Chain A
Amino acid sequence: MQKELWKGNEAIAEAAIRAGCDCFFGYPITPQSEVPEYMSVHLPEHGGVFVQSESEVAAINMVYGAAASGMRAMTSSSSPGISLKQEGISYLVGSELPAVIVNCMRGGPGLGTIQPGQGDYYQATRGGGNGDYRTVVLSPSNVQEAVDFVQEAFDIADQYRNPVMVVCDGLIGQMMEPIEWHPVPKRDLPPKDWATTGRKGRDHHNIINSLYMDPEVCDQHNANLAKKYALMEQNELRWEEKECGDAEVVITAYGTPARIALTAIEALRAEGIKAGLFRPITLWPFPEKALHELAGKTHVKAFLDVEMSSMGQMIDDVRLAVEGQKPIRFLGHAGGVMPTVEEIIESVKKALKEVQ
């Protein structure tokens, strides 16, 4: 298949159009503004609806309205804007509405920086808004994956009636890479007979709602949602292992740092140091069992978690999975500073020395 050179954010927008996105509601924020820009031009060409909202809060609620009336709806933003969308994401989950939300992450806290970051891991994987909930969180580490995941995200959302997040760091949104347009795997999707499309002869009115005044009914609603999360954990788990078969030090990383880690692993192996990469692709569900099993292997001596975050966030999930079987070291920077290949090499060597 012919390769095409695409900028990450524009490719994400085009992927959504190809996935049958009916409508996009967004607000400008660096480094994701190319997504609404591209959508404003090209979505209407395919009969879709583009609205630039007055805020991220409004954008996610426009998504709510459209999704609730049966549309494939999408919004994108970057970290501070995603914070503003959290209310709406919680309502989407509570009302069981499918939607696709792209977070092109930048550094924080507060305004932080417009440079790439990974400080929204907790927010993405623990719900982020009020209440107990989960969303499937897909984390591409290159533009090809971003394109594939955005297309699949619409189907995953429709399958579970739950929003899906695609979380990439700003670097993936901003860089250009050659990609191929793959058809995504087909899923059997349920009919949207719950949608508020107007009754049009239906013998009952449909209601989209997340309010349950009776505590027992609310408890049951949450239990039903929890069953869906369990299904997502069962069906949607994705991760990648590289050079882990004999690795003494396993690097855990996602997104751009995972790519930097691969270069470091190559250099380390050239020096005779056995390093490998464990890359969660779904940040939620987290590949806990696979990582736990890897930690139990005798050849694995230590883990090095690498993130674009000053203290590490995913490292907590790594700790939960490893369960103390092996020591875990951390390397991270926030505020747009990338972990370098040299730093990773040095940290791997240091980790190995500490355990020997």
Chain B
Amino acid sequence: MAIVYEKSKGLTDAELHYCPGCHHGIIHKLVAESLVELGLLDEAIGVCPVGCSVFAFNYFSCDMQEAAHGRAPAVATGIKRTHPTQAVFTYQGDGDLASIGAAEIVHAAMRGEKFTTIFVNNAIYGMTGGQMAPTTLIGQRATTCQSGRTVEQAGMPIRMAELLSTLDGCVYAERVCVTDIANINKAKRAIKKAFEKQMNREGFTFIEVLSTCPTNWGMTPLKANAWLKENMAAYYPLGVIKDSSAEVK
């Protein structure tokens, strides 16, 4: 008998608090599996955000820090600069990273900080109950834009992978999703590649993962998956946004 698949050693045995069908759990394990497969679990130091994944420190089995809202890239800078040979990552949602922490992520990327950011974009504030995020799509309903987001009121949604890829310090930015096996495989390859580039000291690496929020979108997990593919992926194109090493070749 051979085990084909079991829960990653990069995760603790703690039960996840996420809602049914939420993609955080899938993204957690891709990060955990990547750390294990690259032999980095014992070296890694992760930083959690404020948002739905605030308790990620209970789920990853590597050393973890909990940061103030939006400040994870600054916290990770403090860790990585003093532990330059170790794997460091931030795990952040869209409210945390694209709104309150916009300055911290932009400047970490500008400085080319050699850590990896896993950016989970579900186009809404999940933990606080479904308010509009900077990533909420035009027309998408949220509790602070109940008739749907308008350009007049809130502007157009922010594309963080594209924005950060304009900075020379950001060497790798890819947008992925985890709605199906093919995309999960791509997402894992991207996450592993980001960690590899980090360990090669190439610069700042950024993986944006489009994610569902079935609860606050008001959909079943399966409908949310379909909505993501149809609407989010249309505005936030999947694929490699930037790869400096590819450009060199």
Contacts and interface: CB of A to CB of B under 8 A. Distances in A.
A and B touch in the complex (CB under 8 A): yes
Contact of A197 (B55, B63, B76, B78): B63
A51 B110 CA distance: 13
B57 A209 contact: yes
Contact of B68 (A55, A61, A199): A61
B67 interface: yes
Nearest to A62: B78
A69 B45 contact: yes
Contacts of B12: 205
Contacts of B216: none
A252 to B, nearest CB: 36
A199 B41 contact: yes
A121 interface: no
A53 to B, nearest CB: 7
Interface residues of A, number: 39
B82 A71 contact: yes
Nearest to B103: A54
A95 B66 contact: yes
Interface string B91-114: 000000000000110110001000
B37 interface: no
A61 B74 contact: yes
A298 B158 CA distance: 70
B78 A206 contact: no
A53 B107 contact: yes
Interface SS, B side: mixed
A61 B104 contact: yes
Contacts of B78: 23, 25, 51, 61-69, 71, 73
B159 to A, nearest CB: 21
B71 interface: yes
Given A196-B63, A196-B65, A58 B71 contact: yes
B61 interface: yes
Interface string B67-98: 11001001111110111001100000000000
Contact of A211 (B66, B71, B74, B76): B66
Interface string B41-66: 11111010000001101101111111
Given A65-B47, A66-B79, A209 B66 contact: yes
A198 interface: yes
A208 interface: yes
Contact of A23 (B58, B81, B111): B81
A211 B48 CA distance: 12
A88 B71 contact: yes
A91 B82 contact: no
Interface of B: 12, 41-45, 47, 54-55, 57-58, 60-68, 71, 74-79, 81-83, 86-87, 103-104, 106-107, 111
